[in-house]
Amino acid sequence: MAELWSAISAALPVTEAEFPLDFSEKVEPSVVDVLKRCREQLYTRSGRWRQNAQIILDFSWEKLNTGTWRDVDKEWRCLYSYGCLFKVAALCRDDASPATVQEAIRTCDMGLLMGAAIMDNILQTFVRILQNEIGKRHSNEEDPGEGVSAKKMKVDCVSVPVVKQDRAVPRIHCPSLESFKKDYLDPQKPVILEGIIDHWPAFKNHPWSIEYLQTVAGCRTVPVEVGSRYTDEEWSQTLLTVNEFIDRYIVVKGASSLGYLAQHQLFDQVPELKDDIRIPDYCCLGEGDEDDITINAWFGPGGTVSPLHQDPQQNFLAQVVGRKYIRLYSPEDTEKLYPHQLQLLHNTSQVEVESPDVVRFPAFVKAPYLECVLQPGEVLFIPVKHWHYVRSLELSFSVSFWWS
């Protein structure tokens, strides 16, 4: 048990004097006072530092919920990360029970999700130490009787849509950069690129599976969307560990609700998964550099739906596990797609693509489209602002690359 604490404290600055607490004047002196209390209590090991860490977390949480997320000052996100740091240190100092270690990992994840990197991304370092602790415990224990692979997935009777020949998204195998640019990027035409991700470790070295994800990220906390689609009233977001998400929404599919780990930068949070993928070479045809590319994970059971919408960047949608039905509409036909009037949803169509209300949206059926069933190993190029509708046909894991 002392090993956990010594590993954690080894990751921290040796002395209190070397522990940086520099903030702009935006952060009030009273708050800095509490931070200094936390720091002092961390190094003198006295006082109720768990409580003081909580004060920092609660104060910064309120700041993070003030105004729009985009406009939240980075100082408050840093402050939140400091709160997580002190809380994790307090947890690990007290004991190293499985429940405590899990709570500490969750705290690190909250800091990674909502905070900003501090002290050389120390929260990521803490996660590694904590996952190690879990790993040590498992190697000492016998394998639990009900093995992970024993969990049977509910098998869906999947109705795979038949793609009409004249509507099919064109396919090309390993095009050169020049031909991709000339034939698809410049004219902004969708295309499925085959054979360009076969080399991914996600296919070769550690094929992605439920078991693999549980091993690599099972205890990590991630945001999950609950509800059939984000335009629904019942739709909400919650935070679950990957294990909980798999247990609740993948293995035993909920009768009433779908869960979707959607649009989440999982690969920043779990570096091991980032090593399993590669940024497509074709992204170099864009203007930004690699740091400007947003990589999102999309992991969920069959039946998840992303309503017809458009994004402000080019997109490579790489399919790793399972199949997805995708339909694409050109931005030229936007009026036939009846976008929502609300500012918040103006990039989303009001129409339910696979069962459109022809009375309310008569022009929709006249809009031309392309469609496909995207298979594992294939990458769909979705040009910027191209409307797209996605429905998973079975357990699915996709990786999207947003680039400009």
Partner 1 sequence: MNWFGFGFNGFGQIRANEKLADGESALDANVTYPISIDIVCRNLEEEPVQICQHNSSVDTQIRTSWSRRAALHSNSDGRLCLAGFGVGTPSQRGCGGCVEESRGCQDAHISEGYLALSFTDRVECWNSERNEKKPGWSMAIPDNNGPSLAFPLVPGGYIASKPPFYHPLSPQLLAVSLALGTEHAVLLTASGDIYTWGSGSHGQLGHGDLNPQEEPRAMEALMGMPMSTVAAGGWHSVCTSAGGDLYVWGWNESGQVGLPSRALRGEQQKSQGTGGASTCKDQESSDDVFISIQAFPALVDVTQSCEVSKISCGSRHTAAVTSTGDLYTWGWGEYGQLGQGTVNSSDEPRRVEFFKDQGLRVVDVVCGPWNTFVSAIKEDPSLHPDTNILYPL
- As a whole number of angstroms, the distance between CA 151 and CA 165 comes to 39
- As a whole number of angstroms, the distance between CA 201 and CA 254 comes to 31
- Which DSSP category does 254 fall into? -
Q: Does 66 bind partner 1 (CB under 8 A)?
A: yes
Query: How far out from the chain centre does Cα 73 lie?
Result: 22
Residue 29 neighbours by CB distance under 10 Å: 8
Nearer to partner 1, 63 or 388 (CB): 63
Q: Which of 20, 98, 170, 254 binds partner 1 (CB under 8 A)?
A: 254
Which residues 181-240 are close enough to bind partner 1 by CB under 8 A?
A: 236, 240
Residues ≥6 apart with Cβ < 8 Å to 388: 306, 308, 309, 310, 326, 327, 328, 329, 382
Residue among 7, 220, 185 at smallest CA distance from 96:
7
Residues ≥6 apart with Cβ < 8 Å to 110: 80, 84, 221, 239
Shortest Cβ 30–partner 1 spacing (Å): 4
Q: Which of 20, 67, 170, 331 binds partner 1 (CB under 8 A)?
A: 67
Residues ≥6 apart with Cβ < 8 Å to 258: 226, 227, 228, 249, 300, 301, 303, 304
Nearer to partner 1, 30 or 159 (CB): 30
Q: Does 68 bind partner 1 (CB under 8 A)?
A: yes
- As a whole number of angstroms, the distance between CA 376 and CA 299 comes to 13
Region of 85-93, 243-251, 261-269, 371-379 interacting with partner 1 (CB under 8 A):
243-251
Site string for partner 1, 75-114 (x = CB under 8 A): ----------------------------------------
Strands (E), 242-348: 259-264, 294-300, 305-309, 314-321, 324-329
Shortest Cβ 53–partner 1 spacing (Å): 12
Number of residues that bind partner 1 (CB under 8 A): 27
Q: Does 47 bind partner 1 (CB under 8 A)?
A: yes
- As a whole number of angstroms, the distance between CA 144 and CA 218 comes to 15
Q: Which of 3, 33, 95, 281 binds partner 1 (CB under 8 A)?
A: 33
Q: Which of 15, 17, 29, 141 binds partner 1 (CB under 8 A)?
A: 29
- As a whole number of angstroms, the distance between CA 374 and CA 196 comes to 14
Q: Which of 73, 244, 268, 352 binds partner 1 (CB under 8 A)?
A: 244
Region of 9-17, 241-249, 261-269, 376-384 interacting with partner 1 (CB under 8 A):
241-249
Q: Which of 6, 44, 65, 375 binds partner 1 (CB under 8 A)?
A: 65
Residue with the two structure tokens 């996600």: 202
Q: Are 122 and 144 in contact (CB under 8 A)?
A: no
Q: Which of 11, 13, 36, 55 binds partner 1 (CB under 8 A)?
A: 55
Q: Does 58 bind partner 1 (CB under 8 A)?
A: yes
Q: Does 341 bind partner 1 (CB under 8 A)?
A: no
Nearer to partner 1, 59 or 86 (CB): 59
Q: Which of 8, 35, 52, 380 binds partner 1 (CB under 8 A)?
A: 52
Enumerate binding residues for partner 1 (CB under 8 A): 28-30, 33-34, 47-48, 51-52, 54-55, 58-59, 62, 65-68, 236, 240, 244, 247-248, 252, 254, 256, 344
